[in-house]
Structures are given as structure tokens and as C-alpha cells.
Structure 1
């Protein structure tokens, strides 16, 4: 009897599919660099998913904040969001026209997401930088999100194999030894040979600075995940832990 109980425990622990995969809030623009007027109309896609695994998509409630910091100051873009259903999950997209040269820092604060498999609420404050017409004047600016990755490497114009560095900050202060998860937004060309290849993990140093070399062209997401200092109520009204993440997306191209 003991043998069968041990086998059952092993199966339940190790053989069941892992449901607690890394979650990433996507905020992906149609262009990371705007070089011509014909590219000035941006489309932005917002999805909550597992990018390296190509899903599944999680249902997004309407975000709390969505905006941009650029040459015209800080703009609230929440009203521009359009919802759509993909694979039965709600996602969002938006349109934005670039009017002036400069760096545009798009950001989103999604509504808290209840993840029963992990027993916690998840809030991922996410941003992406789009450069317009070569001004390059504000890419390292801080938006002031509760958890934020501030880039030390210019987050556009990157070749495959470039080193990306950023500082993890909470309420404007560096977070020593913060854990940062890294995923490539899979286009279907790569099948990870084992689970550890899906999500790369690095730790920041004592100053909150982390580094990662991006080995393939495409979109890369960096997610600094911190435990919230205060619990939050889940949909059943029970107080549970909160994961507050700071994310940034960067794009790399092959040198040809």
C-alpha cells in the first residue's frame, strides 16, 4: 500500500503538466523604430500570455492605465483601447499616430489577474520604447511605475547578440538581487528542448542591475518579479499574496 501511495504522490508532483508557467504582459508595437512618415501610424497589441510557449492566452480585464510619455508629455490613451476576443480570451489593441521626432514610452498597468495555480494576484507594469525619426532623447526616462525596469542599454536599434542591461526599481529605488525572467516571443520557429529553456532567469546585482545577451532576432521580454508588500483580495474575497512585476520589451535584428 505504501508503494502505491508513493507512486501516486510522485505522479501528482512530477508528471502533471506545469500550470505555473511564466506569465508575461505583452505590449508590442508594430514598429520599434519609426524612420519614415509611412510608419508613423502605430498599432499596439496587448496580450497576457506565455510568449515562448505561444500561449495559452489569459483573459485580460480592461487595464487600469494605458498611456505614453513622449515629446508631447504624458498622454492618457486608455480610451483608445479596443477589446477583441482571441481563442476565447479578451485582449486589447490600440492605434497611435507619431507626430513629432522623439522617444515614445508606451506603458500599461493591467487589472490584477487571479492565478489560482499559484494562489496569488498578478500585476505586471509593462512598457516598450519606440524611437521616432532618430531623436533618441528620452529612452532611459522613468515613467514612475511602482515596479519598473529602467534601461541602461538603449532599448532599440539592437543587433542579435547585443547585451541588454537594466536596473530594477521599486518606487524609484533600485532593488538589490531582484529576479528577472526573460522570454523570447516565439514565432513558431523554435521548440524548447526542455522546460528550463522556456524562461531564462537572471538575478540583478547589489545595485539592482541585470544583464542578458539576446541570442535570436525578435521581441524579448524582461520581467522583474517582486512580492507585493500588501495582500490583495482575490475574486472570492480572500486576501492573497500579490506579484508585482516590472516588464520591458525590446526588439533585436540579425546583422546581414
Structure 2
């Protein structure tokens, strides 16, 4: 009887962890710095994971495209990415030299990820802004992704505690009352009191605008989750819904940190 009870508790724990993990997928695209005061090389790591919990990492097949928008020009960088496994799962990396002043908007369109626990495909369009030569210019430029967050707050050079605001867009138009999930990349030093603290959740207003004050230094991901207009085929060939994620990554820096 004791063994049966213990097995049941373990099963419930597994279901709980699986449910929690399934609700917090985040496509990361994290640069080595948000501001390059003298320009130069920036490295960006692309991992599909659960940031606050530190995993599990999910296999990320080679992205459909990786690109950069700078000074009104889009550059396809897909051919330059290299595979960089994390925790035994596929992930990707990019090195790029910023030679001119201005914001570089790096973005990734991953291949659809099949999540059997939720019965849907997941496609998270993620972007991050890197400011070359600390110019402070061009940070609100839109890539033109199917779903995208347009920053209203400059997403570079932010102190911890600053309020970050953005507009959730789908096909270039604001999405009223869109739900936005928020997580930070946890280095293991923070233990959430319970599952409610893992993913912060807020809603945009009637104009698709949201705001959030980042309480800790580090990288913060904002993910607006929207349903695609049309289903796609699951690996079993069935029509299933598609979760489109509009993600933007923003760094908060503690005062006194260099």
C-alpha cells in the first residue's frame, strides 16, 4: 500500500511538472550584450526552453530564418548560424559584427514545435535589440513578423526596476487585451515560492499596450501568445491549432553593474 501511495504521488508530481513546463515555453535569442559602446562582435544564443525553471530544454530544429534589421535594411543571417547543443538538445548560435551606429534588431523564426501535451504546434517569433555604438536610435523599428511586439520603451540601457512597455501586433495591427507571459532567465539563484511565481501573466489594454516593471537584473522575455488564423498538420497528420508567440527580450541592469 505504501509503495502504491508513493507511486501515485510521483505520478501526480510528474503531471504537475509536465503541466507547468508545458505552459511556459519561451524561444530565447539572447545576445552577449544589449549595448556595444564601441561596436564589434555580438554573439546570440537561440534556445527553446523554460527560462525561470532552467529547463527542460527542447530540441530546436534549424530555424526557418534568422535575420537582422538595421537602418531600414533587412539582412538574412540564416546561413551564418551554427548548431550549439544545450543539455543534449539542439540549439543555435550566431556571431555578427556591428560596424555602424544604430540599433540592430535580431530575430528568429523557428520551425513549428509539436507539443503533444497541449495538442498544438508552437511557433515563437522572437527578437532582441542590440544598440551599436550606444547610439540610442532605431530601437522601435518593426521587422514585419506575423506577430510582433513593438517597444514603447527603449529596450536597451534599462535599469532594474524600469517600466517596459510595448504594443502587441498581429499582421501589423494592435491586438486588444492580448495575454502576455513574462519570465526571466534564472541563473539558479532564485527559487520561486510556488508555481504561480514562475510565469508572470498580464493583459494588454484595448489598444494592445502592456507594461511591466522588471524587479531584477538580467534578461526578461515578454511573450504575447496568439492563435493562428488557420490550423496546421500535426506529426500524425491531423489538423491542430497553432500558437503564435510574439517575443521580445529586454535586459535590466542593476545600478553599479558595469
Is 1:30 aligned to 2:32, yes or no?
yes
Mapped to 2, the partners of 1:193 and 1:21 lie a distance apart of 18
Is 1:76 aligned to 2:95, yes or no?
no
Q: Is the 8 A contact 1:179 1:225 kept in 2?
A: yes
Q: What is the CA distance between 1:238 and its match in structure 2?
A: 1.1
Q: Name the residue aligned to 2:44.
A: 44
Q: Which moved more, 1:68-77 or 1:211-220?
A: 68-77
Q: What is the CA distance between 1:87 and its match in structure 2?
A: 1.9
Q: Which moved more, 1:103-112 or 1:16-25?
A: 16-25
Mapped to 2, the partners of 1:167 and 1:136 lie a distance apart of 20
CA RMSD across the alignment: 1.8
TM-score, normalising length from structure 2?
Answer: 0.92
Alignment of 1:1-256 (within 5 A): 16-19=15-18, 20-37=22-39, 40-71=40-71, 73-256=73-256
Q: What is the CA distance between 1:72 and its match in structure 2?
A: 7.2
Mapped to 2, the partners of 1:14 and 1:43 lie a distance apart of 38
Q: Is the 8 A contact 1:176 1:206 kept in 2?
A: yes
Q: What is the CA distance between 1:134 and its match in structure 2?
A: 2.5
Mapped to 2, the partners of 1:35 and 1:135 lie a distance apart of 8
Instruction: Name structure 1 gaps, 5 residues minimum.
Output: 1-8
Q: How many residues align?
A: 247
Can you list the C-alpha shifts for 1:182-230, whole angstroms capped at 9, x where unaligned? 0011011101110010000000000000010000000000000001110
SS in 2 for 1:169: strand
Mapped to 2, the partners of 1:97 and 1:72 lie a distance apart of 17
Mapped to 1, the partners of 2:245 and 2:87 lie a distance apart of 25
Q: Name the residue aligned to 1:5.
A: none
Q: Is the 8 A contact 1:67 1:74 kept in 2?
A: yes
Q: Is the 8 A contact 1:21 1:50 kept in 2?
A: no
Q: Is the 8 A contact 1:71 1:101 kept in 2?
A: no
TM-score, normalising length from structure 1?
Answer: 0.92
Mapped to 2, the partners of 1:183 and 1:252 lie a distance apart of 13
Q: What is the CA distance between 1:10 and its match in structure 2?
A: 11
